[in-house]
Structure 1
C-alpha cells in the first residue's frame, strides 16, 4: 500500500518520531494521540504503512481505543509528536 498524498505529512512526522518503529508498549498511546486529529480511516491507513499491518487493524485499534486524551502516556506521545510537527488542528 502506498500512503495517500494527503497523509504524507502525517506519515513523515511519524517515521521521524519513530525511526526504529513503534514500541509495542507505546502503540496504544500513539493511537490515542492520533485520534485527537485524524479520522479512524486515516489512522488505519497511516499505521498500515508505518508498521506494516492491514489498514483495518489500525482502524479497529483506533475505534476500540479508550485512552482519554488526559492519560499521561497519551500526553507523553503527544509531546513527542509535537517535536516532529504534530498539530492535531491541521491534520
Structure 2
C-alpha cells in the first residue's frame, strides 16, 4: 500500500476510533478531495472498504464520492468534520499555509 494511504488511514483511525459515522462520509470525502486527487480518494476508499474500517463496500464509497462532485455537503457537515480533523492536525485547506 502506498505510504500516503497508510498515513491517512492511521490518521482516520486516530480521529475516528469508533469508525466514521455515516453522516460524516460525504463531508469527509469532500474535505479529502481538497488534498487528494480523485484517483487517491478512490484508492483510499478501496483500502478502507477492504480493511472493514467503514460499514460500506467499494461501490457505496465510490457512489459517495460521485455525490461529492455533484452535491456538496452542508456547511454544518463540513464544519463538523473539519473540526474533528483539525483536532488530529489534518491541514485545513481553508487556512493559509
TM-score with structure 1 setting the length = 0.72
Aligned length: 85
The ranges of structure 1 where at least 4 consecutive aligned residues each deviate by more than 6 angstroms after the TM superposition are: none
List runs of 5+ in structure 2 lacking aligned partners: 49-53
Deviations 1:18-59 (A, max 9, x none): 1111111221111122122111221222233332632x6534
Larger Rg: 2
Q: Secondary structure at the match of 1:74?
A: helix
User: Equivalent residue for 2:61?
Assistant: 58
CA distance in 1, matches of 2:46, 2:91: 21
2:76 to 68, 72, 76: 72
Question: What secondary structure is seen at the aligned counterpart in 1 of 2:17?
Answer: coil
Secondary structure of the 1:13 match is helix
RMSD across aligned positions (CA): 2.3
CA distance in structure 1 between the aligned counterparts of 2:80 and 2:16, rounded to whole angstroms: 14
What TM-score comes out, normalization by structure 2 length?
Answer: 0.68
For structure 1, list consecutive stretches of 5 or more residues without a partner in the other structure: none
